[in-house]
Chain A
Amino acid sequence: MSAASGSAAEPGTARATYAPGPGRAVVTVAARELAGLFVSPIAYIALTGVALAMSLFFFDNLRAFNAEVSMMQAQAVFSDLMAGEVPPDLNLIERVMVPTAIQTAFVFLGVVPLITMGVFAEERVRRTDEVLLTLPLPTTAVVAGKFLATYVFLLAVVGVTVLLPVVSVAYTGLSAGPVLASALGLLLLAFALAAVGLVCSALTSNQLVAALAAYALASAAFDFGWLQPLAGEWLAHALELLAIHPHFASFPRGVIPLADVGYFAVICLTGFLLTRAALELERLK
């Protein structure tokens, strides 16, 4: 830790300002943000909503899968089903894990902007942004702290959503691999959506506008499949490169493509840099 980072001053020297190190500043901002989140019932309501929605999706898909497999087995008994007639995509991964993950992703599209909308916008409304921006903290540390707090909260959200699949590992003998990959995919998706939401929150003082803008942007970018047949080859390729869903689709199947991890990392990094630019502009004003 440097001399200017909050350690005890040398005897006989005066310290003009309090300037914690970058790491400590990030943690301080994050802790403040997290404390604000968890002392309000909003965080618990969000967690409950996501957990409940995920549970219902999971069991609904499981019930449909059970019914279909049972029907197929009954048919096989009565009709001497020829080997190879069972549809290959009739399995737990394709019929339960994948649809549940997609439905959860749609829930995240709506919930994550609600979590991020107040991170910067609320500071403006409460006029605490001026205090934050005039503190001797680098803008990068402030933004990193806000991102860290949001990501820690989203870690808890994703943790709640994968509880059910984890239990199903114990119950069904489903391998841990697809569950882990699915959790990683949901986490990366949540992080990327949060990055978009934080940029929107940093650009406005109206929380509703921030949430709506983040939701609109993420929804529009979720899947450009409907535009691809109308676009030329080059544009179709570019749209596919940008769309969220194609980069998310492999994870619930137990596959982790490095390219898709890179995609989400780039979205997070871009969101971070744009938020930082927005905040620096605010600071200059």
Chain B
Amino acid sequence: MSGLLIALGCLALGFGLAGVYFADSFGTTASANLALAGVLLAAAVIGVAMRSHGRHAGLARRVWLGVVARVTATLVLAGVLLYASSQVGSRWDLTPETGYTLSDYSRRLLARLDTDVDAVLVGVSGAGSKSEMLLRLYAAASPHFHLELAAPQALDPMSGRPAGGVQRYLRSGERTARATGVSERSVTQTLLQLVTPAHTNVCFVDGHGELAADDAGARGLRVFARMLEREGYTQRSLILARAPDVPADCGVVILAAPQRALLPEEGDALNRYYDGGGRVLVLLEPERPAEPVALLEQAGISAPEGTVIDPEGRIYGAQTPGSEPLIGRFTAHPVTRGLDAHTRVLVAGARPLALHGAGPRGLVWASTSASIRAPAADAATPASPASPAARPSAIPLVAIAERDAGEGRVGRVIVFGDADIASNGRIGLLYNEDLLLNAVNHLASRDEAIDIRPKLAELYQYPLQPERTIGAFQSIALLIPEALLALGIVTWWRRRRL
């Protein structure tokens, strides 16, 4: 009888769970089935316990009760241990680049978090997805970060329409932002944007054919502008000819590779801005010799014409060896914090800088074997290595100069010999974005925000060569099962003969 009750109970349980699964709700039939299952299984247990009769009925009941007590104790112990083990936070990330562990940058950002942030994960039907795993790392790192798993068919909290696939949203107070990627980089950038209030206005000088902050092409600065927004900067364009002075609300002015020279009065306005404690980022290009000469002179920096060729940092496949070098020589300075020979930047056709006097400091340097190719030289012609003039002892590629403006104010200018480093096509490469954003943060006196950001680069994004794949398949995928089956046949044959 008890066996029948157990069988019927299991049947009701199975159909009850199936009802919930397919209807996505506890409907009447499903609930009735689950309730019936509970009643039948309880009746079965009671029936088994009461079944004993005869001379040893009392003893049998005591034995049963003992077993029930032991099983109950075991299950309670298991529950307690499960809960206790779930509270253990230690974990070992065995991937070579600890790709499933939050970077120091994200951890520091989470440690600074003082407002509640809810991460909503929509469209994930099962547990254990990468998105969920990633967001759980954030939740574990900060008591202010909470993870909420929405139903797979939940609506997009931003548009109110069906989310369509897996979506990750971060919500803080009234603000909601979507993390577009499944990487730490994407989530951290979204979090940064959400919790960092707008603090500084960045003005992009316009009107001289500069690289534009709204240009989405390979040489535009749209990605750079977006990165600045995530770090709490607001940005707008600045036409110097329209006003006698740089507006006071410009915390940082960016002049990105102008094609035409600034008018004298525009140059004067920039000089006055710098003299008065303003902050300027100048990006230069070898093929655009229209630098703000007066400003650079005042800063003690000049930009001779030509392109830096650095054979030591050459990358395989570059059109002219050494013209797009990897650079790993940095002066210790807040702008270059965290950058060294292992965390390099990739420049693309940099203009050499020259420093005059004790004021300016070089921050990023080409190697000692670098030389300068004259602008008239053919791109395929290497720079003359023999000429001492063409090979100075060290060529700065990024330099900084400061000027005391009185009343505690300091004018600051940072010059990059390469503007392409900030372009959409190159800012995401290696540590280019860190160098640029840290330069802007230093200009805006936000040294606490200087850091190395999580990288997008993932492990093992290379396909396996076909011949190796086939070789592995033939040697392992077929040989091992074949050998095991042969062993089984031999065993069966030997037993048959016994």
Q: Which residues of A contact B (CB under 8 A)?
A: 38-41, 43-45, 47-48, 51-52, 55-56, 58-59, 62-63, 65-66, 69-70, 73, 80, 82-84, 86-94, 98, 160, 163-164, 167-168, 171-172, 174-175, 177-178, 180-181, 216, 220, 223-230, 236, 240-243, 245-246, 248-250, 253-259, 262-263, 265-267, 269-270, 273-274, 277, 280-281, 284
> Is A92's CB under 8 angstroms from B460's CB?
yes
- Beta-carbon contact of A66 and B82 below 8 Å: no
Beta-carbon contacts under 8 Å, B114-161 to A:
124-130, 133, 149-152
Chain A residues, CB < 8 A from B129: 249
* Residues 48-75 (chain B) with a chain A CB within 8 angstroms: 63-64, 67, 70-71, 74-75
Bound: A274/B73 CA distance, A: 10
Task: Report the minimal beta-carbon distance from A263 to chain B, rounded to whole angstroms.
Answer: 6
**Given that A259-B85, A274-B74 are contacting pairs, would A62 and B464 also be in contact in the complex, using a CB cutoff of 8 Å?**
yes
Q: List 7 A-B residue pairs with CB atoms under 8 Å apart, sorted by A's residue number.
A: A40-B492, A47-B484, A51-B481, A88-B458, A249-B128, A270-B74, A277-B71
Of all A-B residue pairs in the complex, the 10 with the closest CB atoms, nearest first, are A44-B488, A249-B128, A177-B94, A262-B85, A55-B477, A83-B428, A92-B460, A229-B151, A88-B183, A246-B127
Digit string of B81-99 for contact with A (CB within 8 Å is 1, else 0)? 1111111111111111001
B495: CB under 8 A from chain A?
yes
Are the CB atoms of A258 and B88 closer together than 8 Å?
yes
B contacts, CB < 8 Å to A: 10, 14, 17, 20-21, 24-26, 63-64, 67, 70-71, 74-75, 77-78, 81-96, 99-101, 124-130, 133, 149-152, 181-183, 185-186, 218, 223, 424-429, 456, 458-464, 466, 468-469, 471-473, 475-478, 480-481, 484-485, 487-489, 491-492, 495
Known A-B contacts A254-B100, A255-B100; the reply to A83 vs B429 at CB < 8 A is yes
- Chain B nearest CB from A80 CB (Å) reads 6
Q: Which residue of A lies closest to B101 (CB)?
A: A255
A248 contacts across to B, CB distance below 8 A: 128
Enumerate chain B residues within 8 angstroms of A65, measured Cβ to Cβ: 463
Write out the residue numbers on chain A whose beta carbons fall within 8 Å of the beta carbon of B84: 262
Least Cβ distance of B14 to chain A in Å?
8
B464 partner residues in chain A, CB cutoff 8 A: 62, 66, 168, 171-172
Contact among B127, B150, B480 with A51 in the assembled complex (CB-CB below 8 Å): B480
Q: In the complex, A245→B90 CA distance in Å?
A: 19
Q: B81: which A residues are within 8 A, CB to CB?
A: 262, 266, 269
Q: Given A90-B458, A249-B133, A259-B89 in contact, is the A254-B95 Cβ separation under 8 Å?
A: yes
List A contacts of B481 (CB < 8 A): 48, 51-52, 55
Cβ 8 A contact of B91, one of A171, A249, A255, A281: A255
A284→B63 contact, CB < 8 A: yes
A83/B127 contact (C-beta < 8 A), A66-B469, A253-B95 known = no
| Contact, CB under 8 Å: B495 / A66 | no
What residues on A are CB-neighbors of B87 within 8 Å? 259
In the bound complex, how far is the Cα of B477 from the Cα of A56, in angstroms? Answer: 7
Residues from chain A with Cβ under 8 Å of B469 in the complex = 59, 62-63, 66
CA distance A252 to B242 in the complex (A): 61
| From B86, B133, B182, contact of A241 by CB (8 A) | B86
Give bound CA distance, A102 to B38, whole Å. 32
Q: Is B25 touching A257 in the complex (CB atoms < 8 A)?
A: no
Q: Which residue of B lies closest to A47 (CB)?
A: B484
| Among B26, B86, B133, B427, contact of A253 (Cβ-Cβ < 8 Å) | B133
The answer to whether residues A230 and B24 also contact, given A66-B469, A89-B130, A254-B100 and a CB cut-off of 8 A, is: yes
Are A228 and B133 neighbours in the complex by a CB distance under 8 Å? Answer: no
Collect the chain B residues with CB atoms within 8 Å of residue A39's CB: 491, 495
